[in-house]
Structure 1
Amino acid sequence: MTQQQVSATAVTPMVVVRDLRRSFGSGARTVHALRGVSFEVRRGELTALKGKSGSGKTTLMNLVGGLDTPTGGTVELDGTDLTGLDESGRLALRRDRIGFVFQSFGLIPVLTAAENVGVPMRMRGVPAKQREERVRTLLALVGLAEHAGQRPGELSGGQQQRVAVARALANEPALIIADEPTGQLDSETGRSIMRLLRAVVRSEGITALVATHDPELMELADRVVELRDGRIAEAAG
């Protein structure tokens, strides 16, 4: 790759959303969740998406993550048009390029912390030795090296979300999508999770899109995008 190509990649946004629309239902009962949303997520940054309940945040996150398909418009991730992919293509993209962190943690109760972190790599067919080394590295990164053998029920909410962050990083994604990752945590634990996300964006060289309604957590973001009634209200930063 030439120096010119490297420079072009560095300034190209990780996520490009153009005139994105999503409607549910039909006729008089149609609900327009997104009404022509356009914005970008810059490479190597943590972008916070804010908005009241019903503003369309989760719908937008699902579309950016390839979990849903839009009624109209496009989503590009690292130069790939998600809206042009079939289901198998979106599945491969989610597995290889995106890490998800959910409000409810989403851990498998019967597996240990280490086993939960290793699940995405098992699905990708990563060799056992390489997988185990990556799991150790990630649990240390999120401060849970000593809790590798504990199951979710033996961990606090904050610790479970740290495991979820480690799992999201397992396959070295280009983008982390976190939908209200602190919603079930107390304020101090929530701040620690947001600081962790801020730290891993820097240390792992990845990009993050985080939906939150907490003003204190937004202060830790590089940029804030507001969604209001299915439209972008403002972008700051």
Structure 2
Amino acid sequence: MSEQVETTARPEAAPDGEPLVVVRGLRKVYRTGPKEVVALREVSFEAYPGQLVAIRGRSGSGKTTLLNQVGGLDRPDSGRVLVAGRAVTELPEAGLLELRRDVIGFIFQSFGLIPVLSAAENVGVPMRLTRTPAAEREERVRMLLAMVGLEKHANQRPYELSGGQQQRVAVARALANRPRLLIADEPTGQLDSGTGRQIMELLRAVVRSEGVTALVATHDPNLISLADTVLELHDGTLTLTPAPATT
């Protein structure tokens, strides 16, 4: 049996004293015929409101698998995940859809924008799904685009924007329904180092201003200094490493 590693990712002063994310004994095994690959080995950690947590590790270390378990996009073989007090690993599909709609915002490496929609329309999509009144939706779209520095690009479509601008739209969209948790899987993977750092700085600013929790998978060592806590995965085993001092 694998040794359980329990890691607590907690800032010096958590706003409400309670973790938003609690992971206990998470294990995930992928099977292809007789071959087994252990993606997560008894992973445990906590993350608190107002905290940016970086998850690093080489390709194949289990970063995406871990984020998928926390976000309810996949189920573990054993272990438990709680987000905002809800047992993600025990929710039925309808409950998971509600959680992902109302509590969690996702940001992906590939941006995931709808090509035929403008930046403003892309940001507004999650609010359309929750039937937010049009006036309220339009006002929040304006506010979010201003927050990410794209208020002058509201009517442009993704192909008219740079990669960094597209990812800023994706960040704004992820915030549309006021999530309590942001999950970002290699959000700077397609960007140059300078633009990637700008996106991470934006995420850190959002965490501070909105009081959300952010779990960000990254392979870029230059971005680790922007995190409050660093979780490191090696072949599915999690360890806690001190976050470098910010400059």
Aligned partner of 1:180 in structure 2 is 186
How far residue 25 of structure 1 moved from its aligned partner, in angstroms, is 1.6
* Stretches of structure 2 lacking an aligned partner (at least 5 in a row): 1-12
Provide the aligned length of Structure 1 versus Structure 2. 231
**Structure 1: how far apart are the matches of 2:151 and 2:33?**
54
Structure 1 or 2: more helix by fraction: 1
Aligned partner of 1:16 in structure 2 is 22
Q: TM-score, normalised by structure 2?
A: 0.91
- Percent identical among aligned pairs is 67
* Stretches of structure 1 lacking an aligned partner (at least 5 in a row): 1-6
Q: TM-score, normalised by structure 1?
A: 0.95
Aligned partner of 2:238 in structure 1 is 232
Aligned partner of 2:226 in structure 1 is 220
Aligned partner of 2:145 in structure 1 is 139
Aligned partner of 2:61 in structure 1 is 55
How far residue 8 of structure 1 moved from its aligned partner, in angstroms, is 9.7
How far residue 236 of structure 1 moved from its aligned partner, in angstroms, is 2.4
2:15–2:49: 8 Å Cα contact kept in structure 1? no
How far residue 43 of structure 1 moved from its aligned partner, in angstroms, is 1.4
**Structure 2: how far apart are the matches of 1:236 and 1:171?**
32
Aligned: 1:166 with 2:172 = yes
Question: What are the superposed Cα offsets for residues 77-126 of structure 1, whole Å, 9 maximum, x if unpaired?
Answer: 01111011001100100000000000000000000000000000001111
CA-based RMSD of the aligned residues comes to: 1.4
Aligned partner of 1:92 in structure 2 is 98
**Structure 1: how far apart are the matches of 2:132 and 2:241?**
39
Aligned partner of 1:3 in structure 2 is none
Aligned partner of 2:89 in structure 1 is 83
Q: Structure 1 stretches (4+) deviating beyond 2 angstroms? A: 233-237
154-163 vs 225-234, which moves further: 225-234
Aligned partner of 2:7 in structure 1 is none
**Structure 2: how far apart are the matches of 1:26 and 1:10?**
44
Give the secondary-structure state (helix, strand or coil) at the position aligned to 2:132. coil
2:14–2:48: 8 Å Cα contact kept in structure 1? no
How far residue 234 of structure 1 moved from its aligned partner, in angstroms, is 2.6
How far residue 235 of structure 1 moved from its aligned partner, in angstroms, is 3.6
2:119–2:154: 8 Å Cα contact kept in structure 1? yes
